[in-house]
Amino acid sequence: MKQLFLGGISLGFHFYFFLAFGSLFRKILGRKEGLNRYSPLFTPVLGLFLYYGLFELLALPMTLLLVPLHVLTVVWGAALEAVGLAAAFLCGRDWVKSGKTLAEIFKKQPGIYLLAGVLVLGQMIYVAAYDLNSADAAYYVANISTSLYTDTLGRYNPYTGFLSSVFNIRYVTAAWYLDTAAFAKVFHVHPMVLAKTINPVMWTFLADLVYYQLGYALFRGKMEETAEKLLSDSGRERGTGFFSVRKKAVAFLIAAVFFLLLAGNQEFSGFIFYRAYEGKAMLEGLVIPFLFLLFVRLYRDPEDKMAWWGLFFTALGAVCLTTSSMTVVPAAVFAGILPTALKQKKIRPLFRGVLAILPDMAVLALYLAVKLRIVILAAK
């Protein structure tokens, strides 16, 4: 029980830092681009990719330089403290205002949101209780454990326990497990608890936020978009059209979860229910749906600066979550941006898309260089 309590504290800190990263970026960008209108559901998901994107920029060089885990923990902790304090100071009023707005929306349609809450809570309990024992599960838990107990960064073979001579290029760029190791070190939580219980709850909740927003984006029109902006700006209802759209968004969330429950198992693609402890599940259940949400926004407004920045940070954060992003994300971005380019009859959206996927292309180049033995990533 103590381990679950400490793991819950770690979960709370992660959610706060996701919110802090997203809020701070929107505040900074909004001063130049006029995008300071706060979105309480979009912001934490954007913050997740900012969080892991920054962590990747710290963790990957430190890993290749054979830096100890405790050094990464101190540096990363200092960065999180700075972001957390800055966000609380600069964005606190936005959070309070947003909370009041959400409370007012809830009062208008309590039944539908209670249903959504029960669904999300039940899903979180399910993924926390489900225990899939497999080679992949053993790999991730052992990778976190060896990094934690040897004070290293992924230098030991998780299956044998021996010190590796070279880093496995398939996993070395996906450094999110080192964040888990750092939190396990700080909060004295067993890696199994974080990897198999706490992390799946975190990914599932954030994925459900994306599914709801995706449903809302698909069903809303210009009238609802205007009404939502008026409500967000004033905190009072100026129209009821978008409340019916929110009902459809909740229905979309329910349908998405039901589909994943039917289609999901440990072998096929819909496995966010079963393997939420590994990068491919994050890619399938969170990254790609969030990219699709950004594509919808860009199709409606090709000059949506926040969506373009979101593409870049999603590509960067996805690198930290799974090496598979080096091919899947570029393919998805090209397919998603192409309709916008055809609609505008311009090549500019495709050029912006290329800029957005530069992090994935860099990882792909490193992967090929290692496979062709042009580069050797020594672990000793």
**Is residue 376 included in any domain, yes or no?**
no
CA distance 296 to 41: 16
User: What is the helix, strand, coil percentage profile of the chain, to 5?
Assistant: 75, 0, 20
Residue-wise pLDDT for 232-263, tens only, equals 444 444 444 555 777 888 888 888 877 776 66
**Is residue 184 included in any domain, yes or no?**
yes
- Say if residues 219 and 235 touch (Cβ distance below 8 Å): no
Confidence band, pLDDT 50/70/90 cuts, at residue 32: low
Query: Which pLDDT score is estimated for 111?
Result: 82
Of 80, 79, 78, 59, give the one whose Cα is nearest residue 153: 59
Summary mean pLDDT of the chain = 85
DSSP state of 163: B
**Is residue 261 included in any domain, yes or no?**
yes
- Say if residues 339 and 349 touch (Cβ distance below 8 Å): no
**Is residue 168 included in any domain, yes or no?**
yes
**Is residue 377 included in any domain, yes or no?**
no
Range of the domain at 158: 2-371
**Is residue 45 included in any domain, yes or no?**
yes
Of 278, 356, 285, give the one whose Cα is nearest residue 323: 278
Of 87-101, 170-184, 265-279, where does mean pLDDT reach its minimum? 265-279
- Say if residues 35 and 305 touch (Cβ distance below 8 Å): yes
- Say if residues 368 and 361 touch (Cβ distance below 8 Å): no
Q: Rounded to a whole number, what is the distance in angstroms from the first to the last CA of the chain? A: 38
> Considering the entire predicted model, what is its pTM?
0.89
- The structural domain count of the chain equals 1
Query: Which pLDDT score is estimated for 153?
Result: 93
**Is residue 378 included in any domain, yes or no?**
no
The whole-number average pLDDT for the span 205-229 is: 74
CA distance 140 to 285: 18
Residues 6+ away with beta carbon under 8 Å from 166? 376, 377, 378, 379
Residue-wise pLDDT for 300-351, tens only, equals 888 888 899 999 999 999 999 999 999 999 999 999 999 999 998 889 999 9
**Is residue 97 included in any domain, yes or no?**
yes
Residues 6+ away with beta carbon under 8 Å from 356? 308, 311, 312, 315, 333
Query: Which pLDDT score is estimated for 220?
Result: 76
CA distance 198 to 161: 25
Query: Which pLDDT score is estimated for 1?
Result: 79
